[in-house]
Amino acid sequence: MSSLQDQLLKAGLTTKQKAKQANSAKRKKNKQKRSGVEVEATLQEQIKQDLTKTKSDKAEKDRILNEEKQQQVATKELKLRILQILTHHSIKNIFGEIEFNFTQNSKIKKLFIDAATQKALINGRLSICGLDDSSYLVTAETAEKLATLDASVILVSNDKIDEEVDEDDPYADYQIPDDLMW
């Protein structure tokens, strides 16, 4: 009886070169089996390398996830701090009949205020801040503090105007109304 290799050669399914390669590979494998220790040592080194690579990949992935979580916590903390400042320092009971318009999240909003509040907003002593869909009326100092935390919170903040009266002004006795209705 001939071997399987001879039968495959006669059938034309393989070549002599492929048969030689298979024989040499078989001999190498048997030699490694006989010397067993070397194969186990290289296998253990391979496992150690794979294990260290897996550990380093996992550590890198964990570090990235941890940074993302810390960033989310910091953002949430900042938002809560801003909300606390706004609710604590907001000015209430300013309702009046004068309509004051401002934009928030690309929408025009209305706030009904009294005349003193309108004058303070125009002169820059008061500001309007907004968080989410709520708006808050705060002092200019509070708005400056909030601007250091997050400038996008400030919706309306005019420059402060110091009302100085010129001594030579012939119209000093006549006030100019800033809320003319046309």
pLDDT at site 123: 86
Tokens of 140: 């200019």
Q: How confident is the model at residue 168 (pLDDT cuts 50, 70, 90)?
A: confident
Contact 155, 132 (CB under 8 A): no
**CB atoms inside a 10 Å sphere around CB 121:** 22
pLDDT at site 64: 96
> Above pLDDT 70, what percent of the chain?
86
Judged by phi (left if over 0) then psi (alpha if -120 to 50, else beta), residue 37 lies in: alpha
Q: Beta strands 154-157 and 98-104: pairing type? A: unpaired
Q: Has residue 40 got a pLDDT over 90?
A: no
**CB atoms inside a 10 Å sphere around CB 156:** 21
Strand locations in the chain, DSSP E?
Answer: 98-104, 107-113, 126-131, 134-139, 154-157
Contact 12, 19 (CB under 8 A): no
pLDDT at site 170: 75
pLDDT in tens, 68-113: 999 999 999 999 999 999 999 888 888 888 888 888 888 888 888 9
What is d(CA 182, CA 176) in angstroms, rounded to the nearest whole number? Answer: 15
Strand partners, 71: none
Q: How confident is the model at residue 138 (pLDDT cuts 50, 70, 90)?
A: very high
pLDDT at site 115: 86
**CB atoms inside a 10 Å sphere around CB 101:** 9
What is the pTM for the complete model shown? 0.55
- CA-nearest of 133, 146, 139, 175 to 160 is 139
Tokens of 163: 């009302």
